[in-house]
Chains A and B, each alone.
Chain A
């Protein structure tokens, strides 16, 4: 009996054991299946793959052709990070409340990073060329025509006023300004679409492509004799003038367009730190470590905000088209206005119209393009210093334009 019972028992035990083993295997299989369902391979969509390819192109352009590597490498990596497929609800994604990326993205959504970038830009910008030849300031204003015409074009394409305003600013060729205005007008709150990602990516992409986009327009709109114009060397600017400039610039521009205060306030503050001669330590921090940290955070989070499901839409494609148009119009606006100014200028006061293209404010890339273009036709014609004037004026102009759009639409 015992034996039988033992046998029975042993038989029962093996049945239980085999049932237990089965359930363990099932559990293991379930676990593996569950794990697999969480992996990127299981959740990947075509959109993710496309975005990862776009990211790789960005990184390749930055490394191979040196196109804005400080921006394109963080953004490209950010796009990869943002497009790694995952299962929602685990506080991973940039749009998931409480995730690390979401906290970092806060600086973009609330428009914190752009003014900090402007502080750094101010601390590294030398306004001497602008002060020595103040008429070149107007070229920076002329290039902002691109912003407003694109704004109108976006309305015609069916965007509402706020969306059109944020899209138009791409023509300012100023990434931080584009992010700043998008974070205020199209942040996904109050019934608006979240267009920060597409607008920022479009702005930075076109900024990186300045050496490709601008030269054909410059060639198209200028004659050979105009490209050969030599401008008289800029005069020496006194220390006092350099100190006065940020103070007067801050007062004049922000009294007219107070909405641009976070950008212009920080830009001129940074420049005063540089020019005062007493705060070199602060200026050094602003133009090196601080701007580097903010650029890293801004680049990665803007890149990560381009999750395929949010980014790959017809709206984004329209934004990219309008952005390209905006850049072209802005470049043309600057060049044509320089030609217009030449009607009233005589002798060595004449302006080489190529420098008008630098009014788009992609500092210092567009000025560098002007220099290269000028040297193509006359090896001894150095236009870089002259082009820096409309270039930095474009930074002020695009911030003023952003302020105007905000005061109308904000």
Chain B
């Protein structure tokens, strides 16, 4: 081995070891961040927002205090529950009719029907 190679070997070894360690360290940091820090922060934010929601409901309910307000809310709830029968199934299904003819789509039916307007021709 010549002198120039020997001279480079020490530096090379240092770069080899330090280089591998730094690459591992930087990607390890990314790993730690996304494995532990991000979920922790997300959980924290979630917990906080849940807490705030709870508080918001509490303060709202605390505001309803007078008898008139309670009666108004009760009336609204009663009316709502009474009208539930008006709720229809929002799912609309279009099924093809087996028959070709329908008075709803008949031109002749509509043009030949005497109009009940009281007018005489």
Show the binding face of A for B, using Cβ within 8 Å: 130-131, 134-135, 137-138, 140-142, 144-145, 147-149, 151-152, 155-156, 158, 160-161, 164-165, 240-241, 244-245, 248-249, 252-253, 256-257, 393, 396-397, 400-401, 404-405, 408-409
Contacts and interface: CB of A to CB of B under 8 A. Distances in A.
B30 interface: yes
Interface stretch (B20-28, B68-76, B99-107): B20-28
Contact of A148 (B5, B20, B29, B38): B20
Category for how many chain B residues contact A = 20 to 34
B25 A256 contact: yes
Contacts of A401: 19, 23
A207 B22 CA distance: 25
B83 interface: no
B41 to A, nearest CB: 9
Contacts of A404: 15, 18-19, 22-23
A155 B19 CA distance: 15
Given A141-B23, A141-B24, A144-B23, A252 B16 contact: no
A156 B2 CA distance: 10
6 contacts: A137-B28, A244-B38, A256-B26, A257-B26, A397-B23, A405-B15
Given A131-B34, A151-B15, A152-B13, A138 B22 contact: no
B23 to A, nearest CB: 5
Contacts of B12: 151-152, 155, 161, 164
Interface of B: 1-2, 4-5, 8-9, 11-13, 15-16, 18-20, 22-31, 33-35, 38, 42
Nearest to A408: B15
A133 to B, nearest CB: 9
A161 B8 CA distance: 7
A135 B30 CA distance: 9
A401 B25 CA distance: 11
A134 B29 CA distance: 10
Nearest to A139: B27
A152 B26 contact: no
Contact of A248 (B1, B2, B9, B33): B33
Contact of A145 (B11, B20, B31): B20
A218 to B, nearest CB: 22
Contacts of A156: 1, 5, 9
A393 B28 CA distance: 11
A148 B16 CA distance: 5
A393 B15 CA distance: 21
A279 to B, nearest CB: 23
Nearest to B15: A408
Given A152-B13, A158-B5, A160-B8, A138 B19 contact: no
What is the interface of chain A mostly: helix, strand, loop, or mixed? helix
Contacts of B28: 137-138, 141
A252 B29 contact: yes
A287 B28 CA distance: 28
A327 B33 CA distance: 29
Please name the 7 residue pairs, one residue from A and one from B, whose CB atoms are nearest each other, closest first. Answer: A134-B34, A141-B27, A155-B12, A134-B35, A256-B26, A137-B31, A144-B23
Given A158-B5, A160-B8, A256 B29 contact: yes
Nearest to A156: B5
Nearest to B9: A155
A148 B9 contact: no
Contacts of B19: 144, 147-148, 151, 401, 404-405, 408
Contact of A245 (B11, B24, B31, B34): B34
A403 to B, nearest CB: 9
B42 to A, nearest CB: 8
A253 B26 contact: yes
A25 to B, nearest CB: 60
A397 B16 CA distance: 15
B15 A400 contact: no
A400 B4 contact: no
B31 A138 contact: yes
B8 A148 contact: no
B27 A155 contact: no
A155 B31 contact: no
A151 B16 contact: yes
A252 B20 contact: no
A160 B7 CA distance: 10
A131 B38 CA distance: 10
B22 A393 contact: no
A142 B31 CA distance: 13
Contacts of A149: 16
